[in-house]
């Protein structure tokens, strides 16, 4: 089983996982191929893979590979 870093912690990686799969797993919301949530709301999430931003339109087409460092961020209280 391959390992990735997901939000700073080691996580197992199943073969064929895309960025969209990770976003769906982390947020608990189904993600459409456009990168929008299937529930019609606003997701408010961005993804960096190995310090490069993956635009939401590319989430479904972007494969995650072993040793990738993935950060999934959102808006929290602050400022």
Partner 1 sequence: MTEILTETDPFTVAGVPLGSRLIMGTGGAPSLDGLGAALVASGTELTTVAMRRYAPGSGGGGAGTNLFELLLENNIRVLPNTAGCFTAREAVMTAELAREALETDWVKLEVIADENTLLPDAVELVDATEQLVNRGFKVFAYTNDDPVVALRLEQLGAAAVMPLGAPIGTGLGILNPHNIELIVSRAGVPVVLDAGIGTASDAALAMELGCDAVLLATAVTRAQDPVRMAEAFKHAVIGGRLASRAGRIPKRAHALASSAMEGRPDL
Q: Which of residues 45-74 bind partner 1 (CB under 8 A)?
A: 45-48, 51, 53, 55-56, 71-74
Q: Which of 39, 50, 65, 67 is close enough to bind partner 1 by CB under 8 A?
A: 39
By beta-carbon proximity to partner 1, the closer residue of 2 and 29 is: 29
Choose between 2 and 24: whose C-beta lies nearer to partner 1. 24
- Residue 64: CB atoms within 10 Å: 23
- The vertex-3 CA angle with 65 and 52, nearest 5°, equals 45
Token pair belonging to 55: 């635009």
Please tell me the distance from the alpha carbon of residue 65 to that of residue 79, in angstroms, as a whole number: 35
Q: Which stretch binds partner 1 (CB under 8 A): 10-18, 32-40, 60-68?
A: 32-40
**Residue 27: helix, strand or coil by DSSP?**
helix
User: Which residue is associated with the tokens 């912690």?
Assistant: 9
**Rule CB under 8 A: which residues touch partner 1?**
7-8, 26-29, 37, 39-48, 51, 53, 55-56, 71-79
């Amino acid at each position: 089983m391959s390992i990735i870093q997901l939000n700073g912690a080691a996580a197992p990686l199943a073969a064929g996982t895309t960025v969209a799969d990770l976003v769906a797993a982390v947020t608990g919301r189904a993600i459409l191929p456009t990168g929008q949530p299937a529930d019609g709301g606003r997701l408010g999430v961005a993804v960096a893979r190995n310090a490069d931003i993956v635009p939401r339109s590319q989430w479904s087409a972007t494969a995650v590979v072993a040793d990738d460092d993935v950060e999934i961020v959102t808006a929290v209280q602050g400022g």
